[in-house]
Amino acid sequence: MTREEFSEKLRKKISGLPEDEIEGRVSFYNEIIDDRIEEGMSEEDAVESIGSVDSVADQIMAEIPLSKLIEHKVNQSNAGSEGKKRNTGKVITLIALFPVWIILFALILALYIVLWALVLSLYIVVIAFALVSLSGIPGTVYMFVQGRNPEALLVLGVAIFLAGLVIALVFASVAATRGTVRLMKRIALGVKSIFVGKKKAPVLKEGGAQA
């Protein structure tokens, strides 16, 4: 993919953002491509090293505050006389849907709390099992000294089993953390996408004039 193709596709992906944001972001990635070309990379390799257009667009959306998107949407609605009429209807609609927004926010907040509580619980279990496993070492030594070999072997076996379980739970906890972070990002992007629409192409009247 060439730089021009990348820039064009990125503009389409983020076309619902404020114009200054679009131009600023596209220029930013064009500068990165230029820098990597100067370092000796080909144009195609430089573009590929940035990542896919979708991933870049998602990153841009994640970085822009929701308040700025809402402000841009309101400004769009206020533009022109027709926009003012549409804005009145949108205000009425937003007021009517206010309870729905409250419920949606509460559900997202509850989901956020539950998911992170589960992740935290996993880490607590890991710490607890690790402490029990470590405490089995002095217990095993003490029992061997006392000549209680069967009990010592049992405690040692339990300690080794818990140590293996701790290792498995550590990987599970890290995976759960990453999955939760990704899910929260997708939810945030989904909420932002409500306020970001694609710019409609101008409608051409007969004779080639724009509507």
Q: Over the stretch 141-188, which tens digit does the pLDDT of each residue have?
A: 888 888 888 888 888 898 899 899 999 999 999 999 998 888 887 777
Q: Domain span at residue 125?
A: 98-195
**Judgement on whether residues 41 and 8 belong to the same structural domain of the protein:** yes
The answer to whether the CB of 61 falls within 8 A of the CB of 193 is yes
Report pLDDT for 103. 81
28's tokens: 């930013």
Global pTM value: 0.50
Would you place residue 92 in the very low, low, confident or very high pLDDT band (cuts 50, 70, 90)? low
**Judgement on whether residues 102 and 190 belong to the same structural domain of the protein:** yes
**Judgement on whether residues 106 and 167 belong to the same structural domain of the protein:** yes
Residue 203: inside a domain: no
Q: Which distant-in-sequence residues (6+ apart) come within 8 Å of 3 by Cβ?
A: 30, 33, 43, 46, 47
The answer to whether the CB of 186 falls within 8 A of the CB of 178 is no
Report pLDDT for 205. 44
**Judgement on whether residues 84 and 113 belong to the same structural domain of the protein:** no
**Judgement on whether residues 81 and 109 belong to the same structural domain of the protein:** no
What is the CA 162 to chain-centroid distance, rounded? 34
